[in-house]
Amino acid sequence: MYNLKDLANTVLSSAEIREQFPVLGISVNGRPLVYLDNGATSQKPKCVIDSLAKYYNEQNANIHRGVHTLSQEATSLFESTRSSLKRFLNAEHEHEIIFTSGTTQGINLVAHSFGKAFINKGDEVIISALEHHSNIVPWQMMCEDKGAVLRVIPMNNAGELDLSVLASMLSNKTKIIAITHVSNALGTINPVEEIIALAKQYKIPVLIDGAQAVQHQQVDVRKLDCDFYVFSAHKMFGPTGVGVLYGKEKWLNAMPPYMGGGDMIKTVTFEKTEYNELPHKFEAGTPNIADVIAFGESIRFMEEIGFDTIRIREEELLQYATQKLSEIDGLRIFGTAAKKTGVISFNIEGLHPYDVGTILDQLGIAVRTGHHCTQPIMDYYRIPGTVRASFAFYNTMEEVDVLSAGIKKAIKMLKR
Amino acid sequence: MSIKDKESEIVEEFAMFEDWDGKYEYLIDLGKDLPAISAEYKTDDYKIKGCQSQVWLHAELIGGRVRFTADSDAIITKGIIALLVRVFDDETPDAIAEADLQFINEIGLAQHLSPTRSNGLLSMIKQMKMYAIAFKVQNT
Ligand SMILES: Cc1ncc(COP(=O)(O)O)c(C=O)c1O
């Protein structure tokens, strides 16, 4: 038997991995950048950046429309990202992969189109206490429109959902459950397998917001048996402005289009339009071609690093950082779920997160402060926000040490 | 003392510190020394929107001069509002409304105090000027 830890270390050393990310070498405020805001967006490896330049230098053409060579080549590059994603997610069909502008658009699309087709007055939609505003507001808007009711699975003090409550909430009024795979504010990994299994008993479809999951763990949509799975490329080492909506064919076929325009039609007369097949039905207009192609590179890059390496490194970072930060007097960690990704949300007793984040920034340490687009979680803990350090596999133990020293310096300055 | 003079005084004080830590510690001290706002004004009605931290600001016109009090739950933000209170307090509505503040660029924290940051600096200045303009209108 091989030791997974050795394996991870032999695949690529930390320095070799970091070299792939040009921005990790820069200085901020005169200090080497310590980038711990990966939950907001991850940095991009050279192969992704090069792919963008190559596309505009050598490959640019509109897709799905041209007879000319350049257009056909661009189309095939664009479609090859779709096929990488089918493999990456283990989807059954390529046309179950819909390109969006990001997680937010994916959720809005489902809330709108699924809502239009399947939700009526008095029906219920279930979300959880851990949702990002992106997985709250679109459902609220749809529910308001339809006269439907939004219900919320509560969380406990550790930041874990109470599934026994979910079980009691389900009924034939429940039309969809939309839940985050991993909490961006606390790092909690939700038991989505169990949630989906519960939902199946009532034949309720489930949408998973995977924005904070796909960069940390292998997601197999067929094994999960989820109905929709959404995420953003920019949090998984890919470019901004691209995301994926995976949807089961039967739902996508049954849902009306979200936007009308070019590419999503078969025939148009002024009287009636016949919609195109999947995936084009949901991809109106010229898509973000360059970024979709570059996204293919980030998928390839992640597969090359491998989820074993990613998991081992991130678990080590989380463990070490949790231990180092817990040693700091007056520091309280929010989100202590048994299953977590590399996220530490914390506050220092008596200090405002904004002040702590400001001093850390002066030290070249990039963290996020505020409510992290999860105001209901902050309300639960009765705090204005937290400081959040979120790790990627390219972070190092030394960076955790810099963070810990930075927090101590901030405390010293702010508590004088 | 005019707004301009107060600005120069602040610039001189900050020039005594070479490092960012010294400047910040001074800013924090100014925040700590800011006279307390009366509890009745520490409500949502007096909150300035657009800041990551909470900022409360109150103003009244006494003998033709605007008197400001303020507070914040974040100490660096409190330091920033303390600087603004120091510059604008006890000035006429006209002087405040017309002031074009320069000191922020000159105290060596410009990069941090730039208006694009989520520190609410712009909102604070705007709110103080709004008070001044309101008093001006009241008086004419
Ligand atoms: C859990 C979660 N859902 C949704 C989003 C929204 O993603 P995007 O802004 O890329 O659409 C985020 C991003 O912060 C997130 O963390």
DSSP code per residue over A338-349: SSB-SEEEEEET
Burial class (CB in 10 A: 0-12, 13-18, 19+), A162: middle
Residue B118, number of CB atoms within 10 A of its CB = 13
φ, ψ (nearest 5 deg) of residue A320: -65, -45
Residue B5, number of CB atoms within 10 A of its CB = 10
The whole model's pTM is what? 0.93
Answer yes or no: do A352 and B53 touch at CB < 8 A. yes
A355 touches chain B (CB under 8 A): yes
Interface test mutation site (partner A, options B27, B76, B109, B112, max chain A beta carbons within 10 A): B76
B116: pLDDT confidence band, cut at 50, 70 and 90?
low
Distance between B80 CA and the closest CA of chain A, angstroms: 12
Answer yes or no: do B52 and A362 touch at CB < 8 A. no
Catalytic residues of B: 51
Answer yes or no: do B112 and A413 touch at CB < 8 A. no
φ, ψ (nearest 5 deg) of residue A200: -60, -35
Residue that is written with structure tokens 């009924």 in the block: A171
The CA distance from A49 to A130, in Å, is 33
Counting every residue written for chain A, the total comes to 416
Burial class (CB in 10 A: 0-12, 13-18, 19+), A262: middle
A4-41+306-410: CATH topology is Aspartate Aminotransferase, domain 1 (3.90.1150)
Q: What is the DSSP string of A204-273?
A: --EEEE-TTTTTTS---HHHHT-SEEEEEGGGTTS-TT-EEEEE-HHHHHHSPPSS-SSSSEEEE-SS-E
The residue whose CA is least distant from atom 15 of ligand 1 is: A211
- Ligand 1 atom with least separation from CA of A184: 16
The residue whose CA is least distant from atom 16 of ligand 1 is: A184
Answer yes or no: do B75 and A358 touch at CB < 8 A. no
Residue that is written with structure tokens 């059954």 in the block: A92
**Ligand 1 centroid distance, CA of A375 (Å):** 14
Exposure string of B46-69, with b = 16+ CB inside 10 Å and e = fewer, is bebeebbbbbbbbbebeeeebebb
Residue boundaries of the structural domains of chain A = 4-41+306-410, 49-303
Dump pLDDT digits (tens) for B65-109. Answer: 999 999 999 999 999 999 999 999 999 999 999 999 888 888 877
Dump pLDDT digits (tens) for A206-241. Answer: 999 999 999 999 999 999 999 999 999 999 999 999
Q: What is the ipTM of this complex?
A: 0.90
Ligand 1 lined by A134 (C-beta under 6 Å) = yes
**Ligand 1 centroid distance, CA of B4 (Å):** 46
Question: Which CATH number applies to A49-303?
Answer: 3.40.640.10
The answer to whether residue A47 is catalytic is no
> Which of B24, B54, B74 comes nearest A413 by C-beta?
B24
Residue that is written with structure tokens 């949702």 in the block: A131
The CA distance from A72 to A119, in Å, is 40
Q: How many alpha carbons lie under 13 Å from residue A123 in its C-beta half-sphere? A: 21
H or E stretch including A335?
Answer: none
Residue boundaries of the structural domains of chain B = 3-138
The CATH label, of 3.30.450.370, 3.40.640.10, 3.40.50.720, 3.90.1010.10, for the domain at B3-138 is: 3.90.1010.10
DSSP H stretches of helix in A281-384 = 289-305, 307-326, 353-362, 375-381
Q: What share of chain A is helix, strand, coil (3-state, %, to 5)?
A: 45, 20, 35
- pLDDT of B140 above 70: no
Dump pLDDT digits (tens) for A169-209. Answer: 999 999 999 999 999 999 999 999 999 999 999 999 999 99
Q: How many alpha carbons lie under 13 Å from residue B4 in its C-beta half-sphere? A: 2
Chain B residues touching chain A at CB-CB below 8 Å: 20-21, 24-25, 28-29, 52-54, 73-77, 111-112, 118-119
Distance between B21 CA and the closest CA of chain A, angstroms: 8
Q: What is the DSSP string of B74-101?
A: SHHHHHHHHHHHHHHTTB-HHHHHH---
**Predicted pLDDT of residue A282:** 97
Token reading at B122: 């712009």
- Ligand 1 pocket: which of A184, A208, A244 to mutate (most atoms <8 Å of CB)? A184
Ligand 1 lined by A284 (C-beta under 6 Å) = no
**Ligand 1 centroid distance, CA of B12 (Å):** 45
Answer yes or no: do B28 and A384 touch at CB < 8 A. no
State mean pLDDT over A145-159: 98
State mean pLDDT over A133-159: 98
Taking CB atoms and an 8 Å cutoff, what residues of chain B touch A355? 53, 74-77
Token reading at A236: 């998984």
A386: pLDDT confidence band, cut at 50, 70 and 90?
very high
